[in-house]
Amino acid sequence: MAIFAKFAYQAGADVVAIGLLRFALAAALMTGLMLVRPRRWPRGRNLALLALMGGVGYVAQSYSFFSALNYASAALVALLLYLHPFMVTVAGALLMGQRLTRVRIACVSAALVGTALIIGADVSGQPAGIALGVLAAVIYAAYLLVGSRVLASEDTLAAASVVMLSAAAGYALVALIEAPAFPQSIGGWVAVGSIAVLSTSVAMVLLFAGIKRLGAADAATLSTLEPLVTAVLAAFLLGEQITLLQGLGGAIILLAGIALVRFGERDANDAAQ
């Protein structure tokens, strides 16, 4: 998403416009899929939780993240965001009775180290930026934990559709307060459309499917592949160089992901015996 967002910003779009268009287009796409392939919509408590995840959680998390960039380097803010696998793992153990196994701890730790190597050494920032970056990670961790509970009894596509619709409504309210600046070129609109389709709709459905099958902690750990994918795409699309340390970081993340998928469930079963 960072690559597409960079093109959208260059075309004159701002945070509010990208957020509004991102979720409005994604909501339209997801609702269309629900009409073509009808699923049971969430109801009652789960519907309310999913609406809060989108309308409050997604909006607050993205606003905290982008606001943090005004006070701290992009590398530091990104690194703080990827504290969320630690938060999800620990909170899941303390609050939801999930097992804190050796393999899971090792994989989460390795993934964070790999992320730090990919992001780089420019980790300067003011206290406000650090606080906002941590807040973004906390909100996202809570989002994943709540999602893991709700998705246990809901269809993935239907749940993602509710989140998209409520996030679009949340950003519409923000847009009433702060007038958005929309892209001024076709390339900018293509970038925003790519964010809506690839980085939001497809990514959300896959994330929810991962949470449903693996649990919030393991899905969060595997999501650290995102900085690696971003670095590779930046090299191809923007001509940015991948350093030796970034390559090492990517290898560490890949190995952590493979180990988590290969040995995580076995370690959990051994701990339960």
Asked whether residue 117 is assigned to any structural domain, the reply reads yes
Asked whether residue 273 is assigned to any structural domain, the reply reads no
Asked whether residue 140 is assigned to any structural domain, the reply reads yes
List, as one string, the DSSP characters of 14-78.
Answer: -HHHHHHHHHHHHHHHHHHHHHHS--PPP-HHHHHHHHHIIIIIIHHHHHHHHHHTTTB-HHHHH
pLDDT of amino acid 214: 78
pLDDT of amino acid 257: 74
pTM: 0.78
pLDDT of amino acid 159: 92
pLDDT of amino acid 107: 80
Q: Would you say 262 and 214 are in contact if contact means Cβ atoms under 8 Å apart?
A: no
Query: What residue numbers bound the domain in which 146 lies?
Result: 2-268
The kind and range of the H/E element at 139 are helix 127-150
Q: State the total domains in the chain.
A: 1
pLDDT tens for the chain, 273 residues long, are 666 777 888 899 888 898 899 999 999 999 999 999 889 999 999 999 999 999 999 889 888 887 887 787 666 777 778 788 888 888 887 877 777 778 778 888 887 787 777 766 555 667 888 888 889 989 988 988 888 889 888 998 999 999 999 999 999 999 999 999 999 999 999 999 998 998 888 888 888 888 888 787 777 777 777 767 766 776 777 676 777 877 887 788 778 777 776 665 554 444 444
Residue with tokens 């990517």: 250
Distance CA 139, CA 114 (A): 22
Distance CA 140, CA 7 (A): 25
**What pLDDT digit, counting tens, does each position of 145-203 carry?**
888 889 888 998 999 999 999 999 999 999 999 999 999 999 999 999 998 998 888 88
CA distance readout (Å), 70 to 83, 125, 127, 248 = 20, 9, 11, 29
**What pLDDT digit, counting tens, does each position of 73-83 carry?**
666 777 778 78
Asked whether residue 112 is assigned to any structural domain, the reply reads yes
